[in-house]
Structure 1
Amino acid sequence: MGDGVRYIGVAERRARLAVRHRLAQEARAQGPVDVAESLVALHGTDPATVYLAVGARLAEAAKTVVETERALYEDRALVRMHGMRHTVFVFPAELTAVVHASTGLAVAARERASLIKQMATAGAPDAAWLADVEESTLAALARRGQATAAELAADEPRLRVRFVYAAGKSYEGTHTVSTRLLRVLGVEGRVVRGRPLGSWTSSQFRWAVAPEHPELDVAGAQAELLRRWLTACGPATEADLKWWTGWRVTEVRRALAAIGAQAVSLDEGTGGEGTGYVVAGDVEPVAGPAEPWAALLPGLDPTAMGWRQRDWYLAPELRPALFDGSGNVGPTVWWNGRVVGGWAQRGDGEIVWRLLEDLGGARRRAVEAAVAVEAERVRGWVGAARVTPRFRTPLERELSG
């Protein structure tokens, strides 16, 4: 890169991660909303991930479940909704309009068109019929406040209509209108996930009418989302940004230009080897934590899944043990800004872990002692709950067994 472009090395990237992602002890947060704001989004595909990701970053982990449930279901300071890459996340409520405009609108249009096409192919009722069903469903949901799909179908029986999709293909299946319609309404930002039927580990959610939010300009919303993410995760390459947002590269570049992002030199990169970006003014050196730190992060944690190019915090040889076949990361053990192993919960509640890096004698003992403290911390607040990751990985399966 040209003269005057600052180089940010691996050590500094790890220091930024430790502080900005609330992982070092001195950087831990006071509440779940602080965590979500620091990370921009918490992965919500696996419900337990939200709580485990928060608990790993709270100064007082014992408050994890109570405070996270309050933020999600009472204060509504956090909202579970579809976001980047058509994935379910938990966002600070103030970001819902930004996420909807920047990433949801395009996905929603595709989802609705796909549903109408599949229903037509299967000989199911037409788009006008579907529009009438959805208005009736939204009215029923507004009356109830929160409801499951089955409860809504009791009010609107047409939600039980079934249709076959992909007839004659290897992946042929049957959907109910309720399953697909609620999904479409979710990505359109008209409904959100409500309180689960069971505990905080349950994946069976009620639905609720989405809170009202302003309709934002797409380009402006994309610029704001990228600014927030780069503030938390910068520096990042174009490849990282394209992967995390799910946008086209032209959209990424437009947003980078809109926020005046500054180019920096990295040890990795694509689209210009070694080129990364930070928000304007974020090029000064960042001091790392005063003390070494360890963390046990859950499967799909937003830090572990934050970048497409991960060699600066995750050695390639560790990936087969820590990822499933679809690229989902499992529970990971961190030491000073990099992944050094994995962990799991056994049936009796014990938190077990294994280091996968050769750290040497004295250093290994120090890491083991710090990780043991974190493992006990997790066990303390998880209590009687049993957590099995939705996407299981080779090491997690081995350890939990």
Structure 2
Amino acid sequence: MTAARRKITAEARRARLGPRHLLTPATRAGTPEEVARRLVALHATDPATVFLSVAARTADASAAELERALYEDHSLVRMLCMRRTMFVLPTEFAPVADAAAARAVAVRERAGLAKVIGEQLGHDAAWFAATQEAVLAALAARGEATAAQLADDVPDLKAQIVQAAGKPYEARPRITSRFLGVLAAEGRIRRGRPLGSWASSQFRWTVAEPHPELAADEARAELAARYLDAFGPATTEDVKWWTGWTLTDTRKALAGTEAVDVDLDEGPGHALPHQLEEPPTPEPWVALLPALDPTPMGWRHRDWYLDTGHKAELFDKTGNIGPSVWWNGRIAGGWAQRPDGEVVTHVFADVGADARRAIEAEAGRLTEYFGDVRVRPSFRTPLERRLSA
């Protein structure tokens, strides 16, 4: 007779969430590196997200500390990897993410751009290779450079392509950004310090050291284990969605971990052995998490921490979550930064006086962190738009 699988309730998952993701007052981290290691990787599609995700999880939040890790010590690295999404992750873990996810993304990015360049500009693989070497030489000579400076050094980067031809939103961008994006995806160059504030999306570029070659199967198993340690228990669909792998690769990677099968409210799942223990009751906690924060974006199945009736307010049309307010393991509302810099919040239901005071205090802490910096998420949601007006 097959032994019954352990049932892990949504309540138990919520009890683990705050301490594991460094969101309770007692578990906040001391460094940005600690935050990235605990969460595997930090979403970086919006540059501000990384800073705000770290700020929510550190006792003495400082943009300068994250800038140190990214641009001086290089202990954190920004790279395109899981599901073709930009992340910031610990530099020592970058080779695993590269072999497990980024390498395949880079192949597709290069092939896609080469096809467009061939069809629209008539350039072949030899042109692509020569232009690549010219860019790397120019960047090595400068030390660091903006995309515009590199286009001045390598004029072929100024060539234009047509996007969405014949549509009302037809565009004719230069190939500069896409070409540099391919080199970055391949680990040949990396984004350096941005122009302007920490929230800027215009980066300088520098030459990068190539990642060591790792076996893809072993790297995927390690990434799956890291994911489960941070986000488990989780379903197969959660792992597949978060990584961007095929179902076959997902199942193979999970089989290479120490995960055991469990039952979750949404169906069969996987947990590491230490996650089978009943979690202690955590201290009450509140968090104001930014758009695309790794916690709300960690699972495909979200009913255990989000009332589905509020999804339309918090997500845009393509499934990107906006700024969210959390109370004891559940999303309780949202927040936004107004043009004057004030952080304002909205909760969907009465959470009690203690929660309201904690939310107000966290909004004040975040307002202080922003200082003179103003941020508007790239993916805007209905609630964020109303609150920021």
Scaled by the length of structure 1, the TM-score of the pair is 0.93
C-alpha separation in 2, matches of 1:376 and 1:246: 37
Query: What is the DSSP-based 3-state SS (H/G/I as helix, E as strand, rest coil) of the residue aligned with 2:96?
Result: helix
Q: Is the Cα–Cα contact under 8 Å of residues 118 and 165 in structure 1 kept in the other structure?
A: no
- Deviation of residue 348 (structure 1)? 1.4
2:288 pairs with 1:300 = no
Q: Is the Cα–Cα contact under 8 Å of residues 344 and 396 in structure 1 kept in the other structure?
A: yes
Query: What is the DSSP-based 3-state SS (H/G/I as helix, E as strand, rest coil) of the residue aligned with 1:341?
Result: strand
2:46 pairs with 1:53 = no
Cα shift readout 1:163-209 (whole Å, capped 9, x = no counterpart): 33564567654242322211111221222211101100111111122
Structure 2 equivalent of residue 42 of structure 1? 42
**Most deviating of 171-180 and 39-48:** 171-180
Q: Is the Cα–Cα contact under 8 Å of residues 21 and 38 in structure 2 kept in the other structure?
A: yes
Q: Is the Cα–Cα contact under 8 Å of residues 98 and 211 in structure 2 kept in the other structure?
A: no
Query: What is the DSSP-based 3-state SS (H/G/I as helix, E as strand, rest coil) of the residue aligned with 1:106?
Result: helix
Structure 2 equivalent of residue 366 of structure 1? 354
- Out of 296, 310, 328, the residue aligned to residue 302 of structure 2 is 310
Structure 1 equivalent of residue 80 of structure 2? 82
- Out of 242, 245, 248, the residue aligned to residue 246 of structure 2 is 248
Structure 1 equivalent of residue 258 of structure 2? 260
Q: Please tell me the root mean square deviation across aligned C-alpha atoms, in Å.
A: 1.6
Structure 2 equivalent of residue 271 of structure 1? none
- Deviation of residue 312 (structure 1)? 0.4
2:109 pairs with 1:111 = yes
Structure 2 equivalent of residue 24 of structure 1? 24
Structure 1 equivalent of residue 269 of structure 2? 276
Structure 2 equivalent of residue 6 of structure 1? 6
2:329 pairs with 1:331 = no
**Most deviating of 149-158 and 126-135:** 149-158
Structure 1 equivalent of residue 368 of structure 2? 380
C-alpha separation in 1, matches of 2:166 and 2:380: 31
Q: Is the Cα–Cα contact under 8 Å of residues 69 and 75 in structure 2 kept in the other structure?
A: yes
Cα shift readout 1:205-248 (whole Å, capped 9, x = no counterpart): 11122233211111111111111111011000011111100000
C-alpha separation in 1, matches of 2:242 and 2:161: 33
C-alpha separation in 1, matches of 2:356 and 2:350: 12
- Deviation of residue 127 (structure 1)? 1.4
CA distance 1:57–1:167, change in 2 (3 Å): same
Number of residue pairs the alignment of both structures matches? 389
Q: Letter of the aligned partner of 2:29 in structure 1?
A: A
Query: Which structure 1 residue ranges, 5 or more long, are not aligned?
Result: 269-273
CA distance 1:112–1:171, change in 2 (3 Å): farther
Query: What is the DSSP-based 3-state SS (H/G/I as helix, E as strand, rest coil) of the residue aligned with 1:226?
Result: helix
Q: Letter of the aligned partner of 1:377 in structure 2?
A: R
C-alpha separation in 1, matches of 2:128 and 2:377: 35
CA distance 1:163–1:146, change in 2 (3 Å): same
C-alpha separation in 2, matches of 1:147 and 1:392: 30
Q: Is the Cα–Cα contact under 8 Å of residues 236 and 307 in structure 1 kept in the other structure?
A: yes
Q: Is the Cα–Cα contact under 8 Å of residues 5 and 262 in structure 2 kept in the other structure?
A: yes
Q: Is the Cα–Cα contact under 8 Å of residues 262 and 280 in structure 1 kept in the other structure?
A: yes
- Out of 70, 73, 79, the residue aligned to residue 72 of structure 1 is 70
Q: Is the Cα–Cα contact under 8 Å of residues 104 and 189 in structure 1 kept in the other structure?
A: no
C-alpha separation in 1, matches of 2:388 and 2:366: 15
Q: Is the Cα–Cα contact under 8 Å of residues 187 and 211 in structure 2 kept in the other structure?
A: no
CA distance 1:170–1:106, change in 2 (3 Å): farther
Query: What is the DSSP-based 3-state SS (H/G/I as helix, E as strand, rest coil) of the residue aligned with 1:349?
Result: coil
Q: Is the Cα–Cα contact under 8 Å of residues 337 and 388 in structure 2 kept in the other structure?
A: yes
**Most deviating of 96-105 and 154-163:** 154-163
Residue identity (%) = 54
Q: Is the Cα–Cα contact under 8 Å of residues 81 and 105 in structure 2 kept in the other structure?
A: no
Q: Letter of the aligned partner of 2:289 in structure 1?
A: L
Q: Is the Cα–Cα contact under 8 Å of residues 49 and 298 in structure 1 kept in the other structure?
A: yes
Structure 2 equivalent of residue 345 of structure 1? 337
C-alpha separation in 1, matches of 2:380 and 2:173: 26
- Deviation of residue 102 (structure 1)? 0.7
Q: Letter of the aligned partner of 1:260 in structure 2?
A: E
Cα shift readout 1:133-165 (whole Å, capped 9, x = no counterpart): 001101211222221111112222221122335
Q: Is the Cα–Cα contact under 8 Å of residues 137 and 156 in structure 1 kept in the other structure?
A: yes
- Deviation of residue 86 (structure 1)? 0.7
Scaled by the length of structure 2, the TM-score of the pair is 0.96
Query: What is the DSSP-based 3-state SS (H/G/I as helix, E as strand, rest coil) of the residue aligned with 1:80?
Result: strand
Structure 2 equivalent of residue 287 of structure 1? 280
Q: Is the Cα–Cα contact under 8 Å of residues 116 and 127 in structure 1 kept in the other structure?
A: yes
Q: Is the Cα–Cα contact under 8 Å of residues 122 and 165 in structure 1 kept in the other structure?
A: no
Query: What is the DSSP-based 3-state SS (H/G/I as helix, E as strand, rest coil) of the residue aligned with 1:300?
Result: coil
Query: Which structure 2 residue ranges, 5 or more long, are not aligned?
Result: none
| 1:140-159 matches, cutoff 5 A | 140-159=138-157
Q: Letter of the aligned partner of 1:200 in structure 2?
A: W
Query: What is the DSSP-based 3-state SS (H/G/I as helix, E as strand, rest coil) of the residue aligned with 2:30?
Result: coil
Query: What is the DSSP-based 3-state SS (H/G/I as helix, E as strand, rest coil) of the residue aligned with 2:172?
Result: strand
- Deviation of residue 380 (structure 1)? 1.7
C-alpha separation in 1, matches of 2:191 and 2:273: 35
